[in-house]
Chain A
Amino acid sequence: MRVMAQMAMVMNLDKCIGCHTCSVTCKQAWTNRQGTEYVWFNNVETRPGLGYPRGYEDQEVWKGGWEVTANGRLRLKAGGRLTKLLNIFSNPKMPSINDYYEPWTYDYETLLNAPAQDTFPVARPTSLISGKHINIAWSANWDDDLGGSTEHAAMDPMLKGIEDKVKFEFEQTFMFYLPRICEHCLNPSCAASCPSGAIYKREEDGIVLVDQDKCRGWRMCVTGCPYKKVYFNHKTGKAEKCTFCYPRVEVGIPTVCAETCVGRLRYIGLMLYDADRVLEAAAVEDEHDLYEAQRSVFLDPRDPAVEREAERAGIPGDWIEAAKRSPVLKLITDYKVALPLHPEYRTMPMVWYIPPLSPVVDVIKDTGYDAEDKDNLFAAIDALRIPVEYLANLFTAGDTRPVEAVLRRLAAMRSYMRDINLGRDPQAHIAEAVGMEEEEMYEMFRLLAIAKYGDRYVIPTAHGEQAHALEELATDCPVTSFDDELLDSSGPFGEGSGRGAVTPVAVENLMMLQERAGADTLVSGGAKRGRVNLLNWDGRGMPEGLFPQREEGVEVSAGGGTSQQPMDDRSLLDGGQARPDNVAGADGGPQR
């Protein structure tokens, strides 16, 4: 047994409303640079739909992931080492920019500079790739919310075999959202495809990263990843991928996508697994067994034998404790409601999903029956083949039994909790029907529905004695950042070369950020008590603290005069109606 720790994520799809906040915040944090315009480390797909890049799930086309050979060994689907080297000068299976989309910007300047004229000036879209005006005909989310689904969603590779049953007439369509990040697989085929050995899995937390200094731009990882979550930065010529926000995770803060998720549907925690058994599990013959095989690789940190082995493997004590409390462990192992995305790619993905019950609930609701009744829900799960088969194609390689089991548990939780919420006696037989204890069911409800911050994210920090290795800790000489060379945007060898190259790591020291976020005082000085919550300000009067104190005797300059006028004119605003809201602001700070 070789115990290793893996930082893992579970997403509860029932709660995803497809708002794309995760995508946007991730992009702002990581990929708003030249060369990564089309890169979405996190994206949200509407299912059924094509996904991003278009139709990436069809591995007969893209050849991502692993396959099992006749003698039961794993082989990269795109070919072995020699095939890779022979194709190194031109990768035959790499998606082109058109399979993603041509990123664009708008010619905003014409809006401001256009002379007075009869017609409104128009900001025309300009391609960020060719620099020419383009007609936008596709983008990362073109089929969002089933837009154009008769045309696009019908091409969803996951509909193979059930397409005759799924009718894309709007009144009959079901849909849900699938947020995706890198899976940080236990058996990553991107790393295996990298000729340079630049992609590695971190021993401590299993995060899969690209060493930007070692990557030579051979592009094989893009093909190798069946989830198409390794992107090629076309400016720097290097591969980039989701980093699981390792600088944040190392100091115990959740990833940007998880932190900003408004639906609070993401769970982050540790999983312990037996690294010696990964290959064996990934090579089981029947695709339907892959889900169970992967589960069998996981170790239960509450088992004293496992704990001993983990200690022997050098996993710190607080990490083992965190692994015991891991919400991911609960959802995968205890409640068995989380499923892997596309286990048939045999990469052993570590971002799992709780399949949505909502398509089923919606159908019952439409028929006028009680959508929270256990029997109705159970019957519907049995009867509604389409959503179940579709979900099975996504999460269990087409085996509907595990999906049904999960949906039954979720349905049972729904009915069980309704009795409690309505003040009726809870019915133990509902929990028993899905093989759970009442207490366990209630705990699951707490984790899924209440989903408190501390329960969702159990992230042990990286260790202090390793401080210098943590990118976000300022143990380097601070003066180096003022080195003139660093100010250059690129070196002499093209974009992004030289020491001035962008290091794709957040600049801010996250220890400082965390401290500040939890501090009692504001950065600008003063206490939070004087803060105004604009959300419940009725707009009348001027509450205390809305504007900074005007310094006595300071003349307002002519330029700033107009903008300062309203705030200075107290006589107009002095209604005294406004009520400063003193309790916790909209920042979600602790109530005090």
Chain B
Amino acid sequence: MSTFLWVIFPYICLATFVVGHFWRYRYDKFGWTTRSSQLYEDRLLRIGSPLFHFGILFVAVGHFMGLMVPQSWTERAGMSQELYHVVALLGGLPAGIACLVGLAILVYRRRTVGPVFRATTVNDKVMYAVLAVVIVLGMWNTIAGTLLNLGIAGDHYNYRDGVSPWFRQIFWFQPDASLMEGAPIGFQLHALLAFLLFAMWPFTRLVHVFSAPIGYVTRPYIVYRSRDERPGTATGTRAQKRGWERVQ
């Protein structure tokens, strides 16, 4: 069971995540959108949406720090465990609160504003439920683990000894399930549901995360495109594709 939960299930989810995105991009570019509801209502959205999105962006950065940076590195940099936790809390808690408050406003808006609710699909509702539970569990872990000092058998649980190494091991295909077995139930649930969310990701509106328009900063303002932009055709300065070379 342990192997299934902490080895097989994560790989199934990650595989679904990767292949699912590839499939979705290949076959449903038209459906790849934020499906914004701003046209219907913008007063609540103006407060809730930036709160949630900026909050969750910071939370994502925090997760990267906590999961991907080994404890030994920060220690070598002269950062004690206490200092690390203070930094993590100072950064994580406001971000988490902003994210949760934003989410609450957005869910309230979705439920109470008629047109927005009408535009909400079942797919959306399931995704919101999982997302909300994952965020709430994550908040609980932060608060319970550091502020309230509730761990297993009363002592402090250091996720950088348990969850983080396990998560990193996934990427070099040597996950050690025992590392997660010892984690508190809150962390276990958070990790499991997060992987479930990864599995759902490509099939929900969450895909819009991967269209974050970073290229906008550098691209020229006006985009010109030729009418004939089919693969293989060489017009102007565009190179010919293999197998489509013109007869000389």
* Interface residues of A, Cβ cutoff 8 Å to B: 81-82, 84-85, 88-92, 94, 96-97, 129-132, 187-188, 191-192, 194-197, 199-205, 211-219, 232, 234-238, 250, 314, 462, 466, 468-470, 491-499, 501
B154 within 8 A of A: no
B119 within 8 A of A: yes
B140 within 8 A of A: no
A82 in complex: contacting residue of B42, B46, B217, CB < 8 Å: B217
Known contacts A91-B38, A499-B27, then 10 further A-B pairs from the complex at CB < 8 Å, ordered by chain A residue: A90-B42, A94-B38, A188-B222, A201-B223, A203-B225, A217-B35, A238-B30, A468-B228, A469-B227, A498-B31
Supposing A90-B45, A201-B224 touch, asked if A218 and B34 sit within 8 A by C-beta, the answer is yes
In the bound complex, what is the Cα–Cα distance between A205 and B41 (angstroms)?
37
In the bound complex, what is the Cα–Cα distance between A497 and B34 (angstroms)?
12
A203 in complex: contacting residue of B29, B46, B227, CB < 8 Å: B227
A200:B224 contact, CB within 8 angstroms: yes
Closest-CB distance, A488 to chain B (whole angstroms): 12
B41:A96 contact, CB within 8 angstroms: yes
B225:A85 contact, CB within 8 angstroms: no
The DSSP consensus for interface residues of chain B is loop
B32 within 8 A of A: yes
B15-48 with Cβ < 8 A to chain A: 24, 27-42, 45-46
A217:B118 contact, CB within 8 angstroms: no
In the bound complex, what is the Cα–Cα distance between A225 and B206 (angstroms)?
28
For the complex of A and B, the 3 pairs showing the least CB-CB separation, nearest first, are A497-B31, A195-B213, A192-B221
9-residue interface stretch from B49-57, B71-79, B165-173, B184-192: B49-57
In the bound complex, what is the Cα–Cα distance between A575 and B119 (angstroms)?
61
In the bound complex, what is the Cα–Cα distance between A497 and B121 (angstroms)?
12
Supposing A234-B37, A494-B124 touch, asked if A200 and B114 sit within 8 A by C-beta, the answer is no
Closest-CB distance, A88 to chain B (whole angstroms): 7
A214 and chain B: residue at smallest CB distance = B29
What are 9 A-to-B residue pairs whose CB atoms are below 8 Å?
A94-B38, A96-B41, A216-B211, A234-B39, A237-B33, A469-B233, A493-B31, A497-B31, A501-B30
In the bound complex, what is the Cα–Cα distance between A96 and B43 (angstroms)?
10
* B227: chain A residues within 8 A (beta carbon): 202-205, 250, 462, 466, 469-470
In the bound complex, what is the Cα–Cα distance between A498 and B27 (angstroms)?
7
In the bound complex, what is the Cα–Cα distance between A591 and B29 (angstroms)?
49
Supposing A88-B213, A216-B33 touch, asked if A494 and B225 sit within 8 A by C-beta, the answer is no
Contact flags B202-243 to A (C-beta < 8 A → 1, else 0): 011100100101011101011111111110010010000000
B28:A90 contact, CB within 8 angstroms: no
Q: Which residue, of A89, A214, A234, A250, has the highest number of chain B Cβ atoms within 10 A?
A: A89
B221 and chain A: residue at smallest CB distance = A192
Closest-CB distance, B55 to chain A (whole angstroms): 11
B115 within 8 A of A: yes
A238 and chain B: residue at smallest CB distance = B33
A232 and chain B: residue at smallest CB distance = B39
A76 and chain B: residue at smallest CB distance = B221
* Interface residues of B, Cβ cutoff 8 Å to A: 24, 27-42, 45-46, 49-50, 52-54, 114-115, 118-119, 121, 123-124, 203-205, 208, 211, 213, 215-217, 219, 221-230, 233, 236
A236:B38 contact, CB within 8 angstroms: no
Q: What's the A-B contact tally at a CB cutoff of 8 Å? A: 165
A197:B33 contact, CB within 8 angstroms: no
Closest-CB distance, A216 to chain B (whole angstroms): 4
In the bound complex, what is the Cα–Cα distance between A494 and B118 (angstroms)?
11
B202 and chain A: residue at smallest CB distance = A493
B217:A314 contact, CB within 8 angstroms: no
Closest-CB distance, B172 to chain A (whole angstroms): 33
* A91: chain B residues within 8 A (beta carbon): 38, 42
* A469: chain B residues within 8 A (beta carbon): 227-230, 233
Supposing A219-B38, A498-B28 touch, asked if A492 and B222 sit within 8 A by C-beta, the answer is no
Closest-CB distance, A194 to chain B (whole angstroms): 8
A202 in complex: contacting residue of B118, B208, B226, CB < 8 Å: B226
Closest-CB distance, A5 to chain B (whole angstroms): 12
* A192: chain B residues within 8 A (beta carbon): 221-222
Supposing A129-B115, A130-B114 touch, asked if A195 and B30 sit within 8 A by C-beta, the answer is no
In the bound complex, what is the Cα–Cα distance between A89 and B32 (angstroms)?
16
Supposing A82-B217, A96-B41, A201-B222 touch, asked if A89 and B30 sit within 8 A by C-beta, the answer is no
B216 in complex: contacting residue of A84, A130, A187, CB < 8 Å: A84
* B37: chain A residues within 8 A (beta carbon): 234
B213 in complex: contacting residue of A85, A212, A238, A495, CB < 8 Å: A85
B42:A96 contact, CB within 8 angstroms: yes
In the bound complex, what is the Cα–Cα distance between A232 and B233 (angstroms)?
32
In the bound complex, what is the Cα–Cα distance between A237 and B227 (angstroms)?
24
A197:B226 contact, CB within 8 angstroms: no
B217 and chain A: residue at smallest CB distance = A81
Supposing A203-B227, A217-B33, A237-B35 touch, asked if A493 and B114 sit within 8 A by C-beta, the answer is no
A97:B40 contact, CB within 8 angstroms: yes
Closest-CB distance, B217 to chain A (whole angstroms): 5
B223:A199 contact, CB within 8 angstroms: yes
A503 and chain B: residue at smallest CB distance = B30
B226:A234 contact, CB within 8 angstroms: no
Closest-CB distance, A303 to chain B (whole angstroms): 24
* A211: chain B residues within 8 A (beta carbon): 225
* B219: chain A residues within 8 A (beta carbon): 197
A96 and chain B: residue at smallest CB distance = B42
Closest-CB distance, A251 to chain B (whole angstroms): 13
Supposing A201-B222, A201-B225 touch, asked if A494 and B31 sit within 8 A by C-beta, the answer is yes
* A194: chain B residues within 8 A (beta carbon): 216, 223
* B204: chain A residues within 8 A (beta carbon): 493
B35:A196 contact, CB within 8 angstroms: no
A468:B230 contact, CB within 8 angstroms: yes
* A199: chain B residues within 8 A (beta carbon): 223
* A497: chain B residues within 8 A (beta carbon): 28, 30-31
Closest-CB distance, B28 to chain A (whole angstroms): 6
* A84: chain B residues within 8 A (beta carbon): 216
Supposing A191-B221, A195-B213, A197-B223 touch, asked if A216 and B118 sit within 8 A by C-beta, the answer is no
B119 and chain A: residue at smallest CB distance = A234
B41 and chain A: residue at smallest CB distance = A96
Supposing A96-B42, A494-B121, A499-B27 touch, asked if A219 and B229 sit within 8 A by C-beta, the answer is no
A502 and chain B: residue at smallest CB distance = B30
Q: Which residue, of B29, B30, B32, B121, has the highest number of chain A Cβ atoms within 10 A?
A: B30
* B124: chain A residues within 8 A (beta carbon): 494
Supposing A89-B50, A200-B224, A201-B223 touch, asked if A501 and B31 sit within 8 A by C-beta, the answer is yes
In the bound complex, what is the Cα–Cα distance between A96 and B46 (angstroms)?
12
